[in-house]
Every structure is written in structure tokens, then in C-alpha cells.
Homo-oligomer: A and B are copies of this chain.
Amino acid sequence: MNRNSILIAGGDMRQLSCAASLIRKYPVAVIGSDRTHYPDGLDAPENDCFDYLVLPVPPLDEDGNVSTPLSKEELTIEEVTELIRPDALVLAGRVDKELRERFPGHRLIDYMEREELCLSNAIPTAEGAVQIALEELPVTLSGAKVLIVGMGRIGTALAEILKGFGADISVLIRDMKGAARARIHGITPVYASDMSYDHDVVFNTVPGLVFSRDVLGRFKADTLFIDLASKPGGIDFDSASQLGIKTIWALGLPGRTAPVTAGNIIADTIDAIIREEGGSSRV
């Protein structure tokens, strides 16, 4: 028997967009959102033996229930547990110890840690960061002096977008490998020792203190710093504030700036997981 039915519980627009995407391939039901939000073809669960449970990012609210921002009613873990098989696989974003304890008999997978999701999220993250720069800067990105720190997936996605704007881009790199990667993308690499401090906007993608008080002090006071690195970030925010430097620590951009795309990415990742588990799609 093919095991591929999915229950999507709680969450915001991303979860509903994810459901709308998965319903094209799998039996899917939705719970924990007001029915007015249901995409076409989706409905509440009609049985109690789902093979996969998809929880949101983060999965729980502060009361320990499933996070349901699109519903006025609360949704308890017990309610969803009753609807899934005893051996159902639980897929959630940012799985922690608490969540594991709430699903003692189940295997849990954190879809936010899957490499394909991180790679795919680089694009909405970079687009969100560019949107912030467009909103904040009093000058055009065309001709703006832009420093990108790090040439990983987000730095690469940023560089590709900013090239289209005609920005004057440098990428801060640490070794010849980083330099080669920058050049493959047509971007000028610079080492810290040769770096200019005259920039209109700095995008940091490296989690680690790159911009200490000392380094921040060398930049113009009107340089805009946008930090895309996960905790602890790459900027000494207190010092920046004291120096009058504007910083924006932009986390969770995909869900905020492109929720439909972010939901589709989660759906594709769940699709990949189900295939790995041996579940086959209808198409």
C-alpha cells in the first residue's frame, strides 16, 4: 500500500501555499486555518490515518499548541496526533527538544535544515534584502557602491541581482577560492587588507563577528548595513547604534517577502523527503 497522505496543520500563507502545491501530487488535508483561507481543492481531514504531518515554522506557539496565526481557535498537539498514524513522519521547521518530547513515538525531520531548501531560500532572501535596500537608500542601486560579505548561496544570489541594477559591487573574500568564485560570477573580489570602506550599502551573509566596533568605525556614517546572517549575526549592533550607523538585521525574509514562493519551496522539499521515504506521488 502506498503511504503518501499528508496533513498540514497550522501555519501562515506559506503552509497554505505549500498545501496548494502538494495537492497536485498527493492526498492533502488542511487543519488549523480558517476555511476562508483554504486554497481551491483543499479541505479539512476526513479520516484519521495520515502518513505525514507537516507543522509550520516555528511549529508551536507560546502555549505549546500548534502555531495557527490564520485561525482564531487553538489547535492542540493532541488533536493533530489523533489524526495521524502511530508511525506517521512529522515534518516541521526548526525542530527542537520540546517538539521531540511532544511527539515521543514519531520520527521528526526538520525541513528547514535540508540543503535543497536552504539553497532555494537563498533567492527570496536575496530579493527581500534588495527590497530593503531599495526602500532605505536615498540613491539608486545603479552606481551604488555595494559590499557583499561572503560568496555562499545568498551572497551569490545577491550578486546576480545587483549586477542587473548596475551596482558597483565588491565581494569580501578570505582566500583564492572565494576570489575564484566571485570572478566566476563576474564580481570583483577584495581581501580585507585591500578593502575600501566607502560603501553605500553592505550586505553581510557570514554568521560571525565581521563588523566589530573598530571595523564599523571606518565606514561612512550613512552606510546602510543589512545583515542576513543567522544568529548571532555578523554585526556589533550596539556599537553600530552608538556610531549612528543604520543596521537592519533581516531574518526570515522568504516567508515575509514571498510567502507563496516560500511555501512552494517547502512543498518541493517535502516532496523530495516523501520520495526518499518511498512514498509515490499520484502523477
Interface residues of A (CB under 8 A from B): 13, 17, 115-116, 119-120, 122-124, 127-128, 130-131, 134-135, 137-143, 153, 156-157, 160-166, 168, 175-177, 179-181, 183-188, 257-261, 268-269, 272
Main secondary structure of the interface of A (DSSP, over half): helix
A261-B141 Cα distance, complex, nearest whole Å: 10
Tell me whether A131 and B135 are in contact (CB under 8 A): yes
- Given the known A-B contacts A139-B260, A269-B176, are A157 and B184 also in contact in the complex, defined by CB atoms under 8 Å? yes
A183-B119 Cα distance, complex, nearest whole Å: 9
- Given the known A-B contacts A116-B176, A160-B164, are A127 and B140 also in contact in the complex, defined by CB atoms under 8 Å? yes
Copies of this polypeptide in the complex:
4
- Hey, which chain B residues are within 8 Å of A161, CB to CB? 164-165
Tell me whether A185 and B166 are in contact (CB under 8 A): yes
- Hey, which chain B residues are within 8 Å of A257, CB to CB? 134
Name A160's contact: one of B120, B123, B166 (CB within 8 Å): B166
- Smallest CB–CB gap between A140 and chain B, Å? 5
Tell me whether A183 and B13 are in contact (CB under 8 A): no
Smallest Cβ-Cβ distance to A166: which chain B residue: B186
Smallest Cβ-Cβ distance to A125: which chain B residue: B140
Tell me whether A183 and B134 are in contact (CB under 8 A): no
Tell me whether B131 and A134 are in contact (CB under 8 A): yes
| Residue from the set A115, A122, A168, A258 with the largest chain B CB neighbour count within 10 Å | A258
Can you list 20 residue pairs at the A/B interface with Cβ under 8 Å? A13-B138, A116-B176, A116-B179, A119-B176, A120-B176, A120-B180, A123-B166, A123-B184, A127-B142, A128-B134, A131-B131, A131-B134, A131-B135, A134-B134, A134-B257, A138-B261, A153-B180, A161-B164, A163-B164, A176-B272
